[in-house]
Structure 1
Protein backbone atom coordinates (compact mmCIF):
# COMPACT_ATOMS: atom_id res chain seq x y z
CA UNK A 1 0.00 0.00 0.00
CA UNK A 2 1.37 3.46 -0.85
CA UNK A 3 2.56 5.50 2.14
CA UNK A 4 3.28 9.16 2.74
CA UNK A 5 6.51 10.59 4.15
CA UNK A 6 5.49 9.63 7.70
CA UNK A 7 5.20 5.95 6.76
CA UNK A 8 1.43 6.01 7.25
CA UNK A 9 -0.95 4.88 4.49
CA UNK A 10 -1.43 7.66 1.96
CA UNK A 11 -4.94 8.92 1.30
CA UNK A 12 -6.29 7.20 -1.78
CA UNK A 13 -7.21 10.52 -3.36
CA UNK A 14 -3.48 11.28 -3.52
CA UNK A 15 -2.74 8.13 -5.52
CA UNK A 16 -1.65 8.46 -9.11
CA UNK A 17 -3.70 6.71 -11.77
CA UNK A 18 -0.89 4.18 -12.14
CA UNK A 19 -1.20 3.37 -8.43
CA UNK A 20 -4.94 2.82 -8.25
CA UNK A 21 -5.02 0.97 -11.54
CA UNK A 22 -2.23 -1.25 -10.25
CA UNK A 23 -4.33 -2.23 -7.25
CA UNK A 24 -7.35 -2.94 -9.43
CA UNK A 25 -5.45 -5.00 -11.98
CA UNK A 26 -3.42 -7.15 -9.56
CA UNK A 27 -6.19 -9.77 -9.26
CA UNK A 28 -9.21 -9.40 -11.49
CA UNK A 29 -12.13 -11.45 -12.81
CA UNK A 30 -11.57 -12.72 -16.33
CA UNK A 31 -13.89 -14.56 -18.65
CA UNK A 32 -17.00 -16.13 -17.17
CA UNK A 33 -16.81 -19.92 -17.28
CA UNK A 34 -20.36 -21.16 -17.75
CA UNK A 35 -21.13 -23.86 -20.35
CA UNK A 36 -24.17 -23.85 -22.60
CA UNK A 37 -25.58 -26.67 -20.53
CA UNK A 38 -24.35 -28.37 -17.39
CA UNK A 39 -23.40 -32.09 -17.41
CA UNK A 40 -26.28 -34.40 -18.18
CA UNK A 41 -28.21 -31.53 -19.76
CA UNK A 42 -28.87 -30.01 -16.33
CA UNK A 43 -30.19 -26.48 -16.08
CA UNK A 44 -28.43 -25.44 -12.85
CA UNK A 45 -25.30 -26.45 -10.93
CA UNK A 46 -25.50 -26.75 -7.13
CA UNK A 47 -22.18 -26.67 -5.25
CA UNK A 48 -22.46 -27.05 -1.48
CA UNK A 49 -19.41 -26.43 0.69
CA UNK A 50 -18.62 -26.74 4.38
CA UNK A 51 -15.71 -25.07 6.18
CA UNK A 52 -14.80 -27.55 8.91
CA UNK A 53 -12.97 -25.04 11.08
CA UNK A 54 -13.84 -26.59 14.44
CA UNK A 55 -11.33 -25.62 17.15
CA UNK A 56 -8.98 -23.72 14.83
CA UNK A 57 -10.81 -20.39 15.14
CA UNK A 58 -10.00 -19.91 18.85
CA UNK A 59 -6.62 -21.61 18.51
CA UNK A 60 -5.61 -19.20 15.76
CA UNK A 61 -6.27 -16.31 18.12
CA UNK A 62 -4.50 -17.95 21.05
CA UNK A 63 -7.77 -18.59 22.89
CA UNK A 64 -7.43 -21.87 24.77
CA UNK A 65 -10.32 -21.80 27.25
CA UNK A 66 -12.39 -25.01 27.32
CA UNK A 67 -15.54 -23.00 26.61
CA UNK A 68 -14.27 -21.50 23.35
CA UNK A 69 -12.73 -24.78 22.23
CA UNK A 70 -15.96 -26.64 23.00
CA UNK A 71 -17.86 -24.42 20.56
CA UNK A 72 -15.58 -25.68 17.82
CA UNK A 73 -15.59 -29.26 19.07
CA UNK A 74 -19.37 -29.26 18.58
CA UNK A 75 -18.78 -29.02 14.85
CA UNK A 76 -16.75 -32.21 14.78
CA UNK A 77 -18.64 -34.13 17.46
CA UNK A 78 -22.22 -33.27 16.42
CA UNK A 79 -22.41 -31.04 13.35
CA UNK A 80 -20.31 -32.98 10.85
CA UNK A 81 -22.00 -36.37 11.47
CA UNK A 82 -25.43 -34.77 11.08
CA UNK A 83 -24.36 -33.11 7.85
CA UNK A 84 -22.88 -36.29 6.39
CA UNK A 85 -26.10 -38.14 7.23
CA UNK A 86 -28.24 -35.43 5.62
CA UNK A 87 -26.11 -35.38 2.47
CA UNK A 88 -26.23 -39.19 2.23
CA UNK A 89 -30.02 -39.23 2.52
CA UNK A 90 -30.29 -36.70 -0.29
CA UNK A 91 -27.52 -38.27 -2.39
CA UNK A 92 -25.70 -34.93 -2.62
CA UNK A 93 -21.90 -34.56 -2.88
CA UNK A 94 -20.21 -31.61 -1.21
CA UNK A 95 -16.80 -30.03 -0.73
CA UNK A 96 -15.30 -29.77 2.74
CA UNK A 97 -12.63 -27.11 3.19
CA UNK A 98 -10.68 -28.14 6.27
CA UNK A 99 -7.76 -26.49 8.07
CA UNK A 100 -4.96 -29.02 8.46
CA UNK A 101 -4.99 -28.71 12.26
CA UNK A 102 -8.70 -29.64 12.24
CA UNK A 103 -7.84 -32.69 10.16
CA UNK A 104 -5.03 -33.69 12.52
CA UNK A 105 -7.35 -33.38 15.53
CA UNK A 106 -10.16 -35.24 13.74
CA UNK A 107 -8.47 -37.55 11.20
CA UNK A 108 -11.38 -39.98 10.97
CA UNK A 109 -13.67 -37.11 10.04
CA UNK A 110 -11.33 -36.05 7.23
CA UNK A 111 -11.21 -39.61 5.93
CA UNK A 112 -14.99 -39.92 6.21
CA UNK A 113 -15.42 -37.02 3.82
CA UNK A 114 -13.45 -38.66 1.04
CA UNK A 115 -14.73 -42.15 1.87
CA UNK A 116 -18.31 -40.94 1.40
CA UNK A 117 -17.51 -39.48 -2.01
CA UNK A 118 -17.11 -35.86 -0.99
CA UNK A 119 -14.19 -33.58 -1.79
CA UNK A 120 -11.63 -32.47 0.80
CA UNK A 121 -9.91 -29.17 0.03
CA UNK A 122 -7.39 -26.85 1.68
CA UNK A 123 -8.43 -24.15 4.14
CA UNK A 124 -5.11 -23.12 5.61
CA UNK A 125 -3.06 -24.64 8.43
CA UNK A 126 -4.75 -23.30 11.58
CA UNK A 127 -7.20 -20.91 9.93
CA UNK A 128 -4.43 -18.32 9.99
CA UNK A 129 -5.08 -14.84 8.68
CA UNK A 130 -3.14 -15.22 5.45
CA UNK A 131 -3.46 -11.48 4.77
CA UNK A 132 -1.06 -10.81 7.69
CA UNK A 133 1.66 -13.30 6.69
CA UNK A 134 4.82 -12.68 4.75
CA UNK A 135 5.27 -14.71 1.59
CA UNK A 136 7.54 -17.41 3.06
CA UNK A 137 5.24 -18.13 6.00
CA UNK A 138 2.12 -18.16 3.83
CA UNK A 139 3.68 -20.54 1.34
CA UNK A 140 5.05 -22.84 4.04
CA UNK A 141 1.71 -23.11 5.83
CA UNK A 142 -0.24 -23.65 2.60
CA UNK A 143 2.17 -26.34 1.41
CA UNK A 144 2.13 -28.02 4.81
CA UNK A 145 -1.67 -28.03 4.84
CA UNK A 146 -1.77 -29.51 1.33
CA UNK A 147 0.66 -32.29 2.29
CA UNK A 148 -1.17 -33.03 5.55
CA UNK A 149 -4.55 -33.60 3.90
CA UNK A 150 -2.87 -35.72 1.23
CA UNK A 151 -1.15 -37.88 3.86
CA UNK A 152 -4.29 -38.34 5.96
CA UNK A 153 -6.64 -39.31 3.13
CA UNK A 154 -4.44 -40.51 0.27
CA UNK A 155 -6.11 -37.94 -2.00
CA UNK A 156 -4.22 -34.77 -2.85
CA UNK A 157 -6.52 -31.72 -2.77
CA UNK A 158 -6.88 -29.67 -5.94
CA UNK A 159 -8.78 -26.72 -4.46
CA UNK A 160 -8.27 -24.06 -1.83
CA UNK A 161 -10.32 -21.54 0.10
CA UNK A 162 -8.14 -19.03 1.91
CA UNK A 163 -8.87 -18.66 5.64
CA UNK A 164 -9.24 -14.90 5.19
CA UNK A 165 -11.51 -15.17 2.14
CA UNK A 166 -8.99 -12.80 0.57
CA UNK A 167 -5.60 -12.70 -1.14
CA UNK A 168 -2.38 -11.22 0.15
CA UNK A 169 0.09 -9.88 -2.40
CA UNK A 170 1.56 -13.41 -2.51
CA UNK A 171 -1.50 -15.67 -2.38
CA UNK A 172 -2.17 -16.04 -6.10
CA UNK A 173 1.46 -16.81 -6.93
CA UNK A 174 1.54 -19.42 -4.15
CA UNK A 175 -1.62 -21.09 -5.46
CA UNK A 176 -0.19 -21.30 -8.97
CA UNK A 177 3.19 -22.51 -7.72
CA UNK A 178 1.60 -25.31 -5.65
CA UNK A 179 -0.56 -26.42 -8.58
CA UNK A 180 -4.07 -25.72 -7.34
CA UNK A 181 -6.77 -26.10 -9.98
CA UNK A 182 -9.25 -23.70 -8.43
CA UNK A 183 -9.83 -21.21 -5.64
CA UNK A 184 -13.06 -20.38 -3.82
CA UNK A 185 -12.38 -17.17 -1.86
CA UNK A 186 -13.33 -14.19 -4.03
CA UNK A 187 -16.61 -12.49 -4.87
CA UNK A 188 -16.50 -10.88 -8.33
CA UNK A 189 -19.38 -12.85 -9.89
CA UNK A 190 -22.22 -15.27 -9.26
CA UNK A 191 -20.67 -17.73 -11.71
CA UNK A 192 -17.21 -19.32 -12.04
CA UNK A 193 -14.58 -17.25 -13.80
CA UNK A 194 -10.92 -17.31 -14.69
CA UNK A 195 -8.63 -15.24 -12.47
CA UNK A 196 -6.58 -12.63 -14.32
CA UNK A 197 -3.37 -11.22 -12.82
CA UNK A 198 -2.04 -7.91 -14.12
CA UNK A 199 -4.04 -8.39 -17.31
CA UNK A 200 -2.85 -11.96 -17.92
CA UNK A 201 -5.14 -15.02 -17.68
CA UNK A 202 -3.81 -17.46 -15.08
CA UNK A 203 -5.81 -20.59 -15.88
CA UNK A 204 -6.94 -20.69 -12.24
CA UNK A 205 -10.70 -21.13 -11.90
CA UNK A 206 -12.48 -19.05 -9.28
CA UNK A 207 -15.68 -20.45 -7.75
CA UNK A 208 -16.97 -17.31 -6.07
CA UNK A 209 -18.41 -17.11 -2.59
CA UNK A 210 -20.43 -14.37 -0.92
CA UNK A 211 -21.43 -13.49 2.64
CA UNK A 212 -25.09 -13.71 1.55
CA UNK A 213 -24.61 -17.43 0.95
CA UNK A 214 -22.71 -18.11 4.20
CA UNK A 215 -24.23 -19.16 7.51
CA UNK A 216 -21.67 -17.45 9.77
CA UNK A 217 -22.81 -13.81 9.31
CA UNK A 218 -26.35 -14.77 10.28
CA UNK A 219 -25.68 -17.06 13.24
CA UNK A 220 -22.28 -16.33 14.79
CA UNK A 221 -22.08 -15.50 18.50
CA UNK A 222 -19.23 -13.78 20.36
CA UNK A 223 -19.95 -13.51 24.08
CA UNK A 224 -17.49 -10.70 24.74
CA UNK A 225 -17.81 -8.87 21.45
CA UNK A 226 -20.51 -7.16 19.46
CA UNK A 227 -21.30 -10.16 17.24
CA UNK A 228 -24.71 -11.62 17.98
CA UNK A 229 -27.02 -13.93 16.02
CA UNK A 230 -29.61 -11.71 14.38
CA UNK A 231 -31.53 -13.97 12.00
CA UNK A 232 -34.13 -16.68 12.35
CA UNK A 233 -33.07 -19.85 10.49
CA UNK A 234 -36.22 -19.75 8.40
CA UNK A 235 -35.52 -16.17 7.37
CA UNK A 236 -32.10 -17.28 6.15
CA UNK A 237 -33.74 -20.21 4.38
CA UNK A 238 -35.84 -17.71 2.42
CA UNK A 239 -32.71 -15.83 1.29
CA UNK A 240 -30.96 -19.01 0.16
CA UNK A 241 -34.11 -20.28 -1.55
CA UNK A 242 -34.35 -17.03 -3.50
CA UNK A 243 -30.66 -17.35 -4.43
CA UNK A 244 -31.22 -20.88 -5.75
CA UNK A 245 -34.39 -19.93 -7.63
CA UNK A 246 -32.58 -17.08 -9.39
CA UNK A 247 -29.66 -19.36 -10.32
CA UNK A 248 -32.17 -21.86 -11.67
CA UNK A 249 -33.86 -19.25 -13.84
CA UNK A 250 -30.46 -18.04 -15.11
CA UNK A 251 -29.07 -21.52 -15.75
CA UNK A 252 -26.13 -20.72 -13.51
CA UNK A 253 -24.52 -21.85 -10.25
CA UNK A 254 -25.91 -21.94 -6.74
CA UNK A 255 -22.94 -22.06 -4.36
CA UNK A 256 -23.34 -22.20 -0.58
CA UNK A 257 -20.80 -22.00 2.28
CA UNK A 258 -21.67 -23.53 5.65
CA UNK A 259 -19.84 -24.47 8.86
CA UNK A 260 -20.55 -27.65 10.86
CA UNK A 261 -20.25 -25.79 14.18
CA UNK A 262 -22.75 -23.18 12.94
CA UNK A 263 -25.33 -24.91 10.71
CA UNK A 264 -25.08 -28.20 12.61
CA UNK A 265 -27.40 -27.12 15.43
CA UNK A 266 -30.87 -28.66 15.35
CA UNK A 267 -32.95 -25.61 14.51
CA UNK A 268 -30.51 -24.49 11.83
CA UNK A 269 -30.16 -27.90 10.20
CA UNK A 270 -33.91 -27.76 9.60
CA UNK A 271 -33.26 -24.84 7.24
CA UNK A 272 -30.64 -26.80 5.31
CA UNK A 273 -32.87 -29.86 5.08
CA UNK A 274 -35.78 -27.81 3.76
CA UNK A 275 -33.48 -26.09 1.28
CA UNK A 276 -32.33 -29.46 -0.06
CA UNK A 277 -35.96 -30.57 -0.30
CA UNK A 278 -36.76 -27.42 -2.27
CA UNK A 279 -33.86 -27.98 -4.66
CA UNK A 280 -34.81 -31.64 -5.11
CA UNK A 281 -38.30 -30.59 -6.25
CA UNK A 282 -36.72 -29.06 -9.37
CA UNK A 283 -35.75 -31.00 -12.49
CA UNK A 284 -32.42 -30.53 -14.20
CA UNK A 285 -30.20 -30.06 -11.15
CA UNK A 286 -26.53 -31.07 -11.27
CA UNK A 287 -25.01 -31.52 -7.80
CA UNK A 288 -21.25 -31.07 -8.01
CA UNK A 289 -18.23 -30.81 -5.81
CA UNK A 290 -16.23 -27.65 -6.31
CA UNK A 291 -13.55 -29.69 -8.11
CA UNK A 292 -16.12 -31.11 -10.54
CA UNK A 293 -17.53 -27.64 -11.10
CA UNK A 294 -14.04 -26.27 -11.77
CA UNK A 295 -13.32 -29.06 -14.27
CA UNK A 296 -16.51 -28.27 -16.16
CA UNK A 297 -15.82 -24.54 -16.07
CA UNK A 298 -12.29 -25.03 -17.36
CA UNK A 299 -13.65 -26.88 -20.39
CA UNK A 300 -15.61 -23.83 -21.59
CA UNK A 301 -14.01 -22.89 -24.94
CA UNK A 302 -11.80 -19.83 -24.90
CA UNK A 303 -12.99 -16.85 -26.89
CA UNK A 304 -16.62 -17.93 -27.05
CA UNK A 305 -18.69 -14.86 -27.86
CA UNK A 306 -22.11 -16.35 -28.49
CA UNK A 307 -24.71 -15.85 -25.82
CA UNK A 308 -25.87 -18.84 -23.81
CA UNK A 309 -29.28 -20.16 -24.73
CA UNK A 310 -31.12 -21.06 -21.53
CA UNK A 311 -34.57 -22.54 -22.14
CA UNK A 312 -37.52 -21.30 -20.13
CA UNK A 313 -37.60 -22.90 -16.71
CA UNK A 314 -40.34 -25.53 -16.38
CA UNK A 315 -43.09 -24.97 -13.87
CA UNK A 316 -42.50 -26.90 -10.67
CA UNK A 317 -45.05 -28.82 -8.67
CA UNK A 318 -45.62 -27.08 -5.32
Structure 2
Protein backbone atom coordinates (compact mmCIF):
# COMPACT_ATOMS: atom_id res chain seq x y z
CA UNK A 1 0.00 0.00 0.00
CA UNK A 2 1.06 3.58 -0.55
CA UNK A 3 2.63 5.63 2.24
CA UNK A 4 1.31 9.10 1.46
CA UNK A 5 3.27 10.66 4.31
CA UNK A 6 6.58 9.36 2.95
CA UNK A 7 5.59 10.34 -0.57
CA UNK A 8 5.05 13.89 0.66
CA UNK A 9 8.54 14.00 2.19
CA UNK A 10 10.10 12.96 -1.11
CA UNK A 11 7.85 15.30 -3.10
CA UNK A 12 9.32 18.23 -1.16
CA UNK A 13 12.58 17.67 -2.99
CA UNK A 14 10.93 17.92 -6.39
CA UNK A 15 8.70 20.89 -5.56
CA UNK A 16 10.92 23.04 -3.33
CA UNK A 17 14.41 21.54 -2.99
CA UNK A 18 15.32 21.25 -6.66
CA UNK A 19 14.71 24.94 -7.52
CA UNK A 20 16.99 26.03 -4.67
CA UNK A 21 19.74 23.60 -5.55
CA UNK A 22 19.42 24.30 -9.27
CA UNK A 23 19.79 28.04 -8.71
CA UNK A 24 22.82 27.59 -6.44
CA UNK A 25 24.64 25.29 -8.86
CA UNK A 26 23.97 27.76 -11.65
CA UNK A 27 25.24 30.69 -9.57
CA UNK A 28 28.58 28.94 -9.01
CA UNK A 29 28.82 27.49 -12.51
CA UNK A 30 28.83 23.93 -11.18
CA UNK A 31 28.08 20.98 -13.46
CA UNK A 32 26.84 18.09 -11.35
CA UNK A 33 25.66 14.52 -11.71
CA UNK A 34 22.08 13.71 -10.78
CA UNK A 35 21.60 10.09 -9.77
CA UNK A 36 18.02 9.47 -10.83
CA UNK A 37 15.69 6.53 -10.34
CA UNK A 38 14.12 5.55 -13.63
CA UNK A 39 10.60 5.52 -12.19
CA UNK A 40 11.09 8.99 -10.70
CA UNK A 41 12.26 10.27 -14.09
CA UNK A 42 9.25 8.66 -15.76
CA UNK A 43 6.95 10.47 -13.30
CA UNK A 44 8.82 13.83 -13.41
CA UNK A 45 10.59 13.94 -16.78
CA UNK A 46 10.63 17.74 -16.68
CA UNK A 47 13.21 17.69 -13.85
CA UNK A 48 15.58 15.47 -15.82
CA UNK A 49 15.14 17.70 -18.86
CA UNK A 50 15.87 20.82 -16.81
CA UNK A 51 19.00 19.19 -15.40
CA UNK A 52 20.24 18.17 -18.84
CA UNK A 53 19.48 21.64 -20.23
CA UNK A 54 21.61 23.13 -17.43
CA UNK A 55 24.54 20.94 -18.43
CA UNK A 56 24.22 18.35 -15.67
CA UNK A 57 24.65 14.62 -16.14
CA UNK A 58 21.65 12.39 -15.46
CA UNK A 59 22.99 9.02 -14.27
CA UNK A 60 20.96 5.94 -13.41
CA UNK A 61 20.16 5.17 -9.77
CA UNK A 62 18.13 2.05 -10.45
CA UNK A 63 14.51 1.77 -11.52
CA UNK A 64 13.17 2.25 -8.01
CA UNK A 65 15.14 3.14 -4.88
CA UNK A 66 15.87 -0.49 -4.09
CA UNK A 67 18.61 -2.95 -3.23
CA UNK A 68 19.82 -5.26 -5.96
CA UNK A 69 21.28 -7.84 -3.61
CA UNK A 70 19.20 -10.97 -3.88
CA UNK A 71 17.59 -10.00 -7.19
CA UNK A 72 17.41 -12.73 -9.76
CA UNK A 73 19.53 -12.12 -12.84
CA UNK A 74 16.58 -11.75 -15.21
CA UNK A 75 14.82 -9.29 -12.91
CA UNK A 76 17.97 -7.23 -12.46
CA UNK A 77 18.67 -7.16 -16.18
CA UNK A 78 15.14 -5.88 -16.81
CA UNK A 79 15.47 -3.33 -14.00
CA UNK A 80 18.64 -1.88 -15.52
CA UNK A 81 17.06 -1.72 -18.98
CA UNK A 82 13.94 0.07 -17.65
CA UNK A 83 16.03 2.69 -15.87
CA UNK A 84 18.12 3.31 -18.98
CA UNK A 85 15.02 3.64 -21.16
CA UNK A 86 13.33 6.13 -18.82
CA UNK A 87 16.35 8.44 -18.73
CA UNK A 88 16.89 8.17 -22.48
CA UNK A 89 13.22 8.98 -23.13
CA UNK A 90 13.32 12.05 -20.88
CA UNK A 91 16.68 13.53 -21.85
CA UNK A 92 17.36 12.11 -25.30
CA UNK A 93 20.50 10.40 -24.06
CA UNK A 94 21.08 7.06 -22.35
CA UNK A 95 22.96 7.25 -19.04
CA UNK A 96 26.65 6.32 -18.96
CA UNK A 97 26.83 6.10 -15.18
CA UNK A 98 25.11 3.82 -12.66
CA UNK A 99 24.81 3.78 -8.88
CA UNK A 100 22.79 1.09 -7.13
CA UNK A 101 20.97 2.14 -4.00
CA UNK A 102 22.54 0.15 -1.16
CA UNK A 103 23.87 -3.32 -1.95
CA UNK A 104 24.49 -4.55 -5.47
CA UNK A 105 24.14 -8.15 -6.52
CA UNK A 106 27.10 -10.24 -7.59
CA UNK A 107 25.87 -9.77 -11.16
CA UNK A 108 25.33 -6.00 -11.26
CA UNK A 109 28.57 -4.87 -12.88
CA UNK A 110 28.50 -7.65 -15.46
CA UNK A 111 24.89 -6.80 -16.33
CA UNK A 112 25.81 -3.13 -16.75
CA UNK A 113 28.51 -4.17 -19.20
CA UNK A 114 26.03 -6.46 -20.98
CA UNK A 115 23.59 -3.57 -21.27
CA UNK A 116 26.25 -1.53 -23.06
CA UNK A 117 26.84 2.21 -22.97
CA UNK A 118 28.02 2.44 -19.37
CA UNK A 119 31.34 4.17 -18.85
CA UNK A 120 31.40 3.89 -15.06
CA UNK A 121 29.55 2.84 -11.95
CA UNK A 122 29.69 4.19 -8.42
CA UNK A 123 28.94 0.91 -6.66
CA UNK A 124 31.97 1.17 -4.38
CA UNK A 125 32.98 3.03 -1.23
CA UNK A 126 36.53 1.74 -0.96
CA UNK A 127 38.73 4.59 -2.22
CA UNK A 128 39.04 8.35 -2.65
CA UNK A 129 39.94 7.91 -6.32
CA UNK A 130 38.52 6.16 -9.38
CA UNK A 131 40.05 2.89 -10.47
CA UNK A 132 39.74 0.52 -13.40
CA UNK A 133 38.32 -2.97 -13.71
CA UNK A 134 38.03 -5.14 -16.82
CA UNK A 135 35.34 -3.98 -19.21
CA UNK A 136 34.28 -5.12 -22.65
CA UNK A 137 36.74 -5.41 -25.49
CA UNK A 138 39.75 -3.16 -25.11
CA UNK A 139 38.11 -0.51 -22.93
CA UNK A 140 38.35 -0.79 -19.14
CA UNK A 141 35.37 0.03 -16.95
CA UNK A 142 35.75 2.86 -14.44
CA UNK A 143 34.71 2.43 -10.82
CA UNK A 144 34.10 5.90 -9.41
CA UNK A 145 33.63 5.50 -5.63
CA UNK A 146 30.91 7.31 -3.72
CA UNK A 147 31.10 8.63 -0.14
CA UNK A 148 28.64 8.70 2.74
CA UNK A 149 30.57 10.99 5.08
CA UNK A 150 30.62 14.11 2.87
CA UNK A 151 26.92 13.60 2.31
CA UNK A 152 23.78 15.41 3.37
CA UNK A 153 22.24 12.09 4.47
CA UNK A 154 24.02 12.80 7.74
CA UNK A 155 21.18 15.21 8.48
CA UNK A 156 19.02 12.12 8.95
CA UNK A 157 18.47 10.80 12.46
CA UNK A 158 21.73 9.62 14.00
CA UNK A 159 23.86 11.11 11.24
CA UNK A 160 25.40 13.87 13.35
CA UNK A 161 24.52 16.92 11.19
CA UNK A 162 22.01 19.39 12.65
CA UNK A 163 22.84 22.80 11.21
CA UNK A 164 23.81 23.76 7.68
CA UNK A 165 27.20 24.74 9.03
CA UNK A 166 27.81 21.15 10.18
CA UNK A 167 27.66 20.07 6.54
CA UNK A 168 29.80 23.00 5.40
CA UNK A 169 32.51 22.51 8.03
CA UNK A 170 32.86 18.79 7.42
CA UNK A 171 32.97 19.10 3.63
CA UNK A 172 35.38 22.04 3.82
CA UNK A 173 37.71 20.07 6.11
CA UNK A 174 37.65 17.15 3.65
CA UNK A 175 38.23 19.48 0.71
CA UNK A 176 41.14 21.28 2.39
CA UNK A 177 42.90 18.02 3.23
CA UNK A 178 42.50 16.65 -0.30
CA UNK A 179 43.46 20.00 -1.85
CA UNK A 180 46.72 19.95 0.12
CA UNK A 181 47.42 16.34 -0.88
CA UNK A 182 46.58 17.21 -4.47
CA UNK A 183 49.85 19.04 -4.83
CA UNK A 184 51.54 15.67 -5.24
CA UNK A 185 48.87 13.30 -6.54
CA UNK A 186 45.35 13.30 -7.99
CA UNK A 187 42.54 13.76 -5.49
CA UNK A 188 38.75 13.64 -5.75
CA UNK A 189 35.99 14.63 -3.34
CA UNK A 190 32.48 13.25 -3.76
CA UNK A 191 29.77 15.39 -2.14
CA UNK A 192 26.40 13.66 -1.95
CA UNK A 193 23.21 15.75 -2.04
CA UNK A 194 19.52 14.87 -1.93
CA UNK A 195 16.84 17.29 -3.08
CA UNK A 196 14.60 16.67 -0.07
CA UNK A 197 17.48 17.05 2.43
CA UNK A 198 19.96 19.81 1.53
CA UNK A 199 17.17 21.66 -0.29
CA UNK A 200 15.60 22.73 3.01
CA UNK A 201 15.92 26.48 3.76
CA UNK A 202 17.81 25.83 7.00
CA UNK A 203 20.40 23.63 5.26
CA UNK A 204 21.00 25.09 1.79
CA UNK A 205 23.32 27.74 3.25
CA UNK A 206 25.73 24.97 4.22
CA UNK A 207 26.04 23.93 0.60
CA UNK A 208 26.55 27.52 -0.47
CA UNK A 209 29.34 28.04 2.08
CA UNK A 210 31.10 24.93 0.85
CA UNK A 211 30.79 25.93 -2.81
CA UNK A 212 32.10 29.43 -2.08
CA UNK A 213 35.09 28.00 -0.21
CA UNK A 214 35.99 25.47 -2.88
CA UNK A 215 35.44 27.90 -5.75
CA UNK A 216 37.91 30.34 -4.18
CA UNK A 217 40.75 27.80 -4.40
CA UNK A 218 42.77 27.95 -7.59
CA UNK A 219 42.47 24.93 -9.82
CA UNK A 220 39.30 23.46 -8.31
CA UNK A 221 37.36 21.43 -10.88
CA UNK A 222 33.65 20.96 -10.22
CA UNK A 223 33.11 17.97 -12.49
CA UNK A 224 30.34 15.69 -13.57
CA UNK A 225 31.08 12.07 -12.79
CA UNK A 226 31.08 11.10 -16.46
CA UNK A 227 33.74 13.73 -17.09
CA UNK A 228 35.85 12.41 -14.22
CA UNK A 229 35.55 8.87 -15.56
CA UNK A 230 36.51 9.96 -19.07
CA UNK A 231 39.46 11.94 -17.72
CA UNK A 232 40.62 8.96 -15.68
CA UNK A 233 40.60 6.74 -18.72
CA UNK A 234 42.62 9.21 -20.75
CA UNK A 235 45.09 10.41 -18.15
CA UNK A 236 45.48 7.84 -15.41
CA UNK A 237 45.18 4.79 -17.63
CA UNK A 238 46.61 6.31 -20.80
CA UNK A 239 43.60 4.92 -22.64
CA UNK A 240 42.52 6.54 -25.87
CA UNK A 241 40.04 5.84 -28.58
CA UNK A 242 36.92 5.48 -26.44
CA UNK A 243 33.86 7.02 -28.09
CA UNK A 244 32.12 7.07 -24.73
CA UNK A 245 35.01 8.81 -23.04
CA UNK A 246 35.34 11.37 -25.78
CA UNK A 247 31.63 12.08 -25.67
CA UNK A 248 31.66 12.67 -21.92
CA UNK A 249 34.60 15.04 -21.65
Q: 1 or 2, which has the higher strand percentage?
A: 1
Q: CA deviation at 1:298?
A: 0.7
Q: CA deviation at 1:127?
A: 1.2
**2:195 corresponds to which of 260, 279, 288:** 260
Task: Please give the secondary structure, in 2, of the residue aligned with 1:211.
Answer: coil
If the length of structure 2 is used for normalisation, what is the TM-score?
A: 0.87
Residue 238 of structure 1: aligned partner? 169
2:108 is aligned, of 171, 193, 205, to: 171
Separation of aligned partners in 1, 2:219 and 2:159 = 35
Q: Which residue of 2 aligns with 1:204?
A: 141
**Residue of 219, 225, 230 corresponding to 2:155:** 219
Distance 1:148 1:300 in 2: 32
Name the Cα RMSD after superposition.
1.9
Could you give the per-residue CA deviations for residues 243-296 of structure 1, whole angstroms, max 9, x where no partner exists? 111121122111111110111101111100000010111111112100000000
Q: Distance in 2 between matches of 1:149 and 1:81?
A: 20
TM-score, normalised to structure 1, is: 0.69
> Residue 205 of structure 2: SS of its match in structure 1?
helix
Counterpart CA distance in 1 for 2:160 and 2:178 is: 26
8 Å CA contact retained: 2:60, 2:84 = yes
Unmatched segments (≥5 aa) in structure 2? 240-249
Give the number of the structure with larger relative contact order, counting CA–CA contacts within 8 Å between residues 6 or more apart. Answer: 1
Change (3 A) 1:80 1:303: closer
**Map of 1:110 onto structure 2:** 48
Please name the residue that 1:290 is paired with.
225
Equivalent pair of 1:195/1:202 in contact (CA under 8 Å): no
Correspondent of 2:178 among 234, 244, 247: 247
Distance 1:302 1:279, change over 3 A: closer
Retained in 2: the 8 A contact 1:194–1:202? no
Matches within 5 A, 1:78-227: 78-164=16-102, 166-179=103-116, 180-195=118-133, 203-216=140-153, 218-220=154-156, 227=157
SS at match of 1:69: helix
Aligned match of 1:35: none
Per the alignment, residue 41 of structure 1 pairs with none
Change in Cα spacing, 1:235 to 1:154, as seen in structure 2 (3 Å) is: same
Partner of 2:207: 272
Computing the radius of gyration over CA atoms, which structure comes out larger, 1 or 2? 1
- Structure 1 counterpart SS, 2:221: strand
Inter-partner Cα distance in structure 2 for 1:282 and 1:86: 18
User: How many residues are aligned here?
Assistant: 231
| 1:132 CA drift (Å) | 2.6
Shift of 1:167: 2.5
Report how far residue 229 of structure 1 moved: 5.6
SS in 2 for 1:96: strand
Moved more, 293-302 or 283-292: 293-302
